[in-house]
A and B are shown apart, each in its own frame.
Chain A
Amino acid sequence: MSASKSVSVKNLSKIFDGSGGKKVTAVNNVSLTINPGEFVTLLGPSGCGKTTILRMVAGFETPTAGDVLIGDERVNTLTPDRRDTAMVFQSYALFPHLNVFENIAYGLKIKKLKPDVIRAKVKEILGLVDLHDLETRSPNQLSGGQQQRVALARALVMEPSVLLFDEPLSNLDAKLRIHMRREIRKIQHQFGITSIYVTHDQAEAMSMSDRIIVMNKGVVEQVGTPREIYATPASQFVADFIGTANIIPSQVVAVNSERTEVSALGTSFHVKTSLSLQPGDTVKLIVRPEAITLSCDAGIPATISSSVFMGAYQDYVISSHGQNLLLVDADPANHQTFEAGEQVFLVIAPNKLHIVK
């Protein structure tokens, strides 16, 4: 096994020639470092540049500016076949004219390993991904989940320094996706291979990553652990993209070293923040749905606009001071439930609040 390597990109940009001579900036001056053995997710909506970065690391796209480093080596001038990366493609990209065994052995044959070594390695990997008895099947005889495993096995068997995943689970159904999420994470841990994982699915990013890189419109919005990104989003975009957020326009009333006082919903809140603010600044107050609880007697007055029973939880939309807020009661069986039209009071947990500019 080759040692796991770090990956860094420095001031990386990619500008595509769009139709009609228009230039499209897919990636705009991005710098990142991914540590050896780390599992990092590039998360963002489609067109945010995450796949382009992945493809530049693999060597399928040439950067317009900036450098890609694998370990300490600048790899800009290496073609994909000479880079020590292995990619798992969104469409799996299995070779339809080769069977499962031949698909997985493809890269090993190019390395000119001995046939018995190839056989042993392929067998071992097949066992790891639970596909022992399918080696003579052709890809079109496999289910989506099986194809996915072959694609994973084909990349793993190369024992690359860096594993690249391009939305590998997006073609699977919901249950299988959750299962494969755990599988991939388990195998990655076991091998300790540096992994870059591209997805637009926040649940995937949250459940698998050591760190998440949130991207939007070609730039990095925030880098952090799943916990940091959820609790202290760096921007309105991140707050909105990760989980559900109530974004309430508010104004800074007073600033002191401990807490910043902002006014919203006809009252004021004291919020911890690292932003440097002046009284009078307009900011956005981020309130997660689970930070709000309903009460019959005291708090911020509000009206229930809609109330939907979802089984494990109760979904509310409530209206207060001209704002529509989402609220989730995670334990409706033990709480009083409210119906649309009822007058209620909101209680907002102050330590779960966060502000962004």
Chain B
Amino acid sequence: MNILQRKLDELRLITRDPILAATILLVAASLVLFILWPLYEVLWEGFFNEQGEFTLKYYHDSLGKTENIRTLGNTVWLGVFVSAVSTFVGFLFAYADAFLKIRFKAIFNTLAILPIISPPFALSMSFIMLFGQQGFVTRTLLGLKETNIYGFEGLAIVQVLTFFPVAYLVLAGLLRQIDPAMEEAARNMGASRGHIFRTIIFPLVRPGIANAFLLVFIQSVADFGNAMVIGGNYNTLAAQIYMQAMGNYDMKGGTALATILLSVSVLMFVIQKYWVGDKSYVTVTGKPSRERELVADPLPLILVGVPCLAVSLFILVLYALIPYGSLVNLWGIDYTPTLKHYKYIVDLGLKPILDTTWLALISMPVTGILGMVIAFLIVRKKFLGRGLIEFSSLLSMAIPGTVIGVGYVLAYNKEPLILTGTATIIVLSFVFRSMPVGIRAGIASLQQVDPAIEEAAQDLGASSFKVFTSVTIPLIKSAFFSGLVYSFVRSMTAVSAVIFLVSASYSLLTVSIMSQVDGGKLGVAAAYSTVLILIVLVVTGILKLLLNRMGVNISDVQGG
């Protein structure tokens, strides 16, 4: 066999499709340039001193400080605690959703969407409004003067309330796929409900539980917004990196911490994707044959249903506090209705609102198209470097925003690509932060499409590009548009990465909210947050309306 001839044939095949070859190169280049290179910068920055000589000083200093070791310990402990509790709560919700005969289950999905469409630290704000020094509960109702919810307890509760929906979505998906026929078979053989749960249901979802735990862990350790707002003296890595790099102007110390945080996240990501990710039994059993007979016994209803509904109501109240808080004179003391916070925003200038909106709008189509192209290449095409494209595009999901923020600062403040202070750098961070979800949606919906349909098009003479535009995109359009909507929402509410990138020329809503919280102006922060949520709702509403007119039905955007 002539191997040279084979290689030559393969090369020829690719060059016969120049658009495909160019796309692969372009995608690979952009992933290297905007994901891998900034990470590389973060990893190496801490190994060289100002003169460019190799040194272990910065890592030695960082790891030598008991304060930093404690921060690492804090982060991991918080992650473990929050993931365990969130997974448990998420499981209760998933169980209630799949097995219990209760009403108002629609609330559960709303709960899953709320953390995505609101600023990432929204619950921290509401929590402070309830339990802070001027909190409604602590001050107005109980009259307490000295209260402190800043720290581990506050942060942990808020993170659980924010992240348990991630666990819920993973586990509910699994439970829904379990064929009720299996439970009926077990009951038929004499097993009680409790026994079935222990011996059938639980073992089937065990991989899902590990999965949910790790996904929440990744989010918890990366959480920057809540840690800044309600973390108090309980330092975590994500916040500490920012304070070190931007507060103390110690970039190298910051990168050393960033490397540590990145290692933790990537380790969890690798475990989640390559070890736990494949261990699902549920998919083997195929689709449920019919609907499950829902449980109406009083005991499970009281033990599971009631707590779930109570938690749901509490969360809804927390979110409702934000618009409410923006309309009262002085929270905790004077609840007279007023529009003064909105007037203050207008006086301060609408720049952050407009900047955020149009930057998010620009990022939207870029993210959507790039995401679908990458999903298409990963699922449908065989080429050298496909594994790298898949890994790096999904990896960016696991990279904490603060790490990528530091990376962007380092990578683009020098030749050959100077982007510091431009709109481009913000758009790039929006695009590459929100793209993984679009890619995942694209991959999932492409896997539902019979590859023969695309082969048929190619067989009839369509080039790869023509196949993509005339067949692939129309078939996965709902994933495509979901990706668009998600990208916009995610960009509007992003804070962790972009907080490193904002400059005098561009200010962002989330960053403004944060500085208002920092300055103790809760009313103004609440007003900004309300505006943000309204913009998100209006823009996504318009998008959905337009798409419905075009006959596209987009599933509710669910993130992760």
Chain A residues within CB distance 8 Å of chain B: 58, 60, 62, 64-65, 76-82, 85-87, 89-91, 93-97, 106-107, 110-111, 154, 158
Contacts and interface: CB of A to CB of B under 8 A. Distances in A.
A174 to B, nearest CB: 24
A80 B461 CA distance: 7
Nearest to A96: B475
A81 B466 CA distance: 10
Contacts of B458: 60, 79-81
Question: Could you tell me the dominant secondary structure of chain A's interface residues?
Answer: loop
A93 B16 contact: no
B4 interface: no
Contacts of B470: 106
B459 A87 contact: yes
A122 B148 CA distance: 77
Nearest to B2: A65
Contacts of B6: 64-65
Interface in B412-462: 450, 452-453, 455-462
A58 B461 CA distance: 11
A303 B249 CA distance: 99
Contacts of A106: 457, 460, 462, 470
Contacts of B471: 95, 97
Given A77-B16, A87-B456, A95-B456, 13 more contacts: A64-B6, A77-B12, A79-B458, A81-B458, A81-B459, A86-B460, A87-B459, A93-B450, A93-B452, A95-B471, A106-B457, A106-B460, A110-B460
Determine the interface band of chain B, counting residues with CB < 8 A from chain A.
Answer: 20 to 34
A224 B485 CA distance: 60
A62 B9 contact: yes
A78 B10 CA distance: 10
A82 B16 CA distance: 9
Given A78-B16, A79-B16, A107 B474 contact: no
A351 to B, nearest CB: 46
B13 interface: yes
A158 B17 CA distance: 21
Contact of B460 (A62, A65, A77, A154): A154
B383 to A, nearest CB: 12
B453 A107 contact: no
B453 A85 contact: no
B149 to A, nearest CB: 52
Contacts of A86: 459-460
A87 B13 contact: no
Question: Could you tell me the dominant secondary structure of chain B's interface residues?
Answer: helix
A58 B453 contact: no
Contact of B459 (A64, A65, A80, A95): A80
A91 B459 contact: no
Interface string B1-36: 100001001101100110000000000000000000
A145 B93 CA distance: 46
B463 interface: yes
Contact of B13 (A64, A79, A91, A111): A79
A95 B10 contact: no
Contacts of A64: 1, 6
Interface centre among B9, B13, B460, B462 (most CB of A within 10 A): B460
A77 B457 contact: no
A28 B6 CA distance: 17
A191 B60 CA distance: 80
A298 B535 CA distance: 97
A93 B455 CA distance: 8
Contact of A60 (B1, B10, B455): B455
A64 to B, nearest CB: 8
A76 B460 contact: no
21 contacts: A58-B455, A60-B455, A60-B458, A62-B13, A64-B1, A77-B12, A77-B13, A79-B458, A79-B463, A80-B455, A81-B466, A85-B459, A91-B452, A93-B453, A95-B453, A95-B457, A97-B474, A110-B462, A154-B460, A158-B460, A158-B461
Contacts of B462: 81, 106-107, 110
A76 B2 CA distance: 14
A78 B474 CA distance: 27
Contacts of A82: 16, 461
Given A65-B1, A77-B16, A78-B16, A107 B452 contact: no
A300 B470 CA distance: 69
A96 B458 CA distance: 16
A91 B470 CA distance: 19
Interface in B461-510: 461-464, 466, 470-471, 474-475
Contacts of A107: 460-462
A77 B9 contact: yes
Contact of A93 (B9, B17, B456, B474): B456
Contacts of B9: 62, 76-77
